[in-house]
């Protein structure tokens, strides 16, 4: 964020991208609520893969050895995460 603060045009572009992504994210969430196929095949797999990777990375950094099970996300949390990704 410090680099973006040094360049006003960069900060403006960053804020513009943030503003544009919110309606897109809301549309994806609505699509996941309305369509089982969209939710099951488009939204949930990337969210669950991201959650699995994040949990495995955290466990390895904490020093866990061997087989580690990542707790499964609820569908609502996965849809929210999939819409943001």
Contact assessment for residue 29 and residue 83, using Cβ atoms and an 8 Å cutoff:
yes
Residue with tokens 């996300």: 73
Contact assessment for residue 37 and residue 45, using Cβ atoms and an 8 Å cutoff:
no
HSE of 25 in the Cβ direction (CA atoms, 13 Å)? Answer: 13
pTM: 0.61
C-alpha separations of 26 from 49, 58, 84 in Å: 21, 29, 9
Check pLDDT > 70 for residue 37.
yes
Which pLDDT band, with edges at 50, 70 and 90, does 5 fall under? low
Check pLDDT > 60 for residue 14.
yes
Average pLDDT, the chain: 81
Structure tokens at 35: 């369509």
């Amino acid at each position: 964020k410090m680099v973006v603060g040094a360049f006003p045009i960069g900060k403006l572009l960053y804020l513009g991208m943030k503003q544009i992504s919110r309606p897109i994210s809301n549309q994806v969430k609505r699509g996941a609520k309305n369509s089982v196929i969209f939710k099951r095949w488009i939204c949930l797999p990337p969210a669950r893969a991201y959650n699995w990777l994040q949990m495995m990375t955290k466990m390895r950094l904490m020093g866990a050895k061997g087989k580690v099970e990542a707790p499964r996300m609820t569908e609502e949390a996965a849809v929210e995460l999939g819409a943001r990704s």
